[in-house]
Amino acid sequence: MKNGTLFLPFILLFCFITGCSFMNEQQEISQPASALRQGQPDSSGQDLSNRMLIIATGDMSGVYFTVGQRLSALYERYNGAVSGTQVTQASIENTELVSQHRAEIGFTTVDVLELPSTNKSRLRALTTLYSNYVQIVTTKRHDIDSLDDLAGKRVSVGTSGSGTRLIAERILLETDLQPEQLNLSYLSFTQAAEALQNGSIDAAFFSSGIPNYEIAYTSKQTELSIIPIPKDIIDRLQKQYGVYAQNEIPVDTYKGMQKEVQTISIKNVLVTYDEMSDRHAYNLVKTLYEHLPELQDTHPAASDISLNDAAGPVPLDFHSGAMKYFTEHGLMKK
């Protein structure tokens, strides 16, 4: 490493404070890393060549974190990058971190990109990914079969800064439920799963790839039910926002399911900042797709990542480096 042993304690302290997972910290930045980072200045005029490649992910039990860990390992193995993942509140926080150059890459759902608070001028898409599924989970002892049954119940809608909270609140606004009928809490996936088991909440929203590991584990400890989203609500949300799709959670996703459950799915996208060099962005995308099978082995949701869909429509401009890679593979016109 360029800064030797004096730099290593600083990096480890940085990771401890920020929650990032640091891999292979003694690996030297070799020639492939010089292709990944060209030492070009960012908007503040600082050289980027000695910075870590930070990937903003989400809750440690979520798919963002799992896939992000493997992606970080790929960039270390094949690009020689000094890379790590940062635990975050997920989509909304990730777009903020990337737009502020506090992370190089971030996972987000496409609906977050349309929020007025998202600084789209500072963000660029690298590739679309798999879909998140809205999973509204309760335990069978509560006899909650529909969204209307949530009246008077204790419901977790996800953490502040998450795509889960965004879609949960949008769904609840489309019901006939009044705000005073809901007792909302803002828990992470892990906290929500524990609260469902100990009875401190009655239901919880999860927006993630399937299966969600926390739901899967909880389903083996207690009998769960997944609440369907009515088609009329899905249609209204699709008409209003244009980024949601009707989908089904397959019957074999979790223990105890007896039929598929109708829900909403949302595409995920990997974003970076607008000032990343073309060569850097090109190499990030190239490594992801040249070693896609390794990424897909990480989690079943990642099996839906496909180069054929990589340049799919998102409400954000693609980075020109990513566009160059997609053009070479016939996904975009020159």
pLDDT in tens, 197-206: 999 999 999 9
Percentage of the chain beyond pLDDT 90 is: 82
**Which residue type does 287 have?**
T
pLDDT band at 333 (very low <50, low <70, confident <90, very high): confident
Amino acid 270: pLDDT:
98
Write down the residue that tokens 């809205």 correspond to. Answer: 134
Rounded CA-CA distance 20/189 in Å is 18
Among 16-25, 138-147, 220-229, the least confident range: 16-25
Q: Which residues pair with 246 in a beta bridge?
A: 264
Amino acid 42: pLDDT:
40
Nearest residue to 154 via CA among 190, 197, 195, 208: 195
Tokens of 158: 């996800």
Surface-to-core class of residue 8, CB atoms within 10 Å of its CB (0-12 exposed, 13-18 middle, 19+ buried): middle
Tell me the mean pLDDT in the region 76-102. Answer: 96
Q: What is the mean pLDDT of the chain?
A: 87
Rounded CA-CA distance 106/121 in Å is 16
Q: CA dihedral defined by 326, 328, 329, 331, rounded to 10 degrees?
A: 50
174 Cβ contact list (under 8 Å, min separation 6): 233, 236, 237
Amino acid 230: pLDDT:
98
pLDDT in tens, 194-252: 999 999 999 999 999 999 999 999 999 999 999 999 999 999 999 999 999 999 999 99
pLDDT in tens, 282-317: 999 999 999 999 999 999 999 999 999 999 999 999
Amino acid 51: pLDDT:
59
Taking the chain, what is the end-to-end CA distance rounded to the nearest angstrom? 39
**According to CATH, what is the number of the domain 4-130+268-328?**
3.40.190.10
pLDDT band at 192 (very low <50, low <70, confident <90, very high): very high
**Which residue type does 37 have?**
R
Percentage of the chain beyond pLDDT 70 is: 85
pLDDT band at 52 (very low <50, low <70, confident <90, very high): confident
CA angle 65, 68, 73 (to 5 degrees): 130
Delimit the CATH 3.40.190.10 region(s) of the chain.
4-130+268-328, 132-266
> Packing angle between helix 163-173 and helix 91-99, nearest 10 degrees?
130
**According to CATH, what is the number of the domain 132-266?**
3.40.190.10
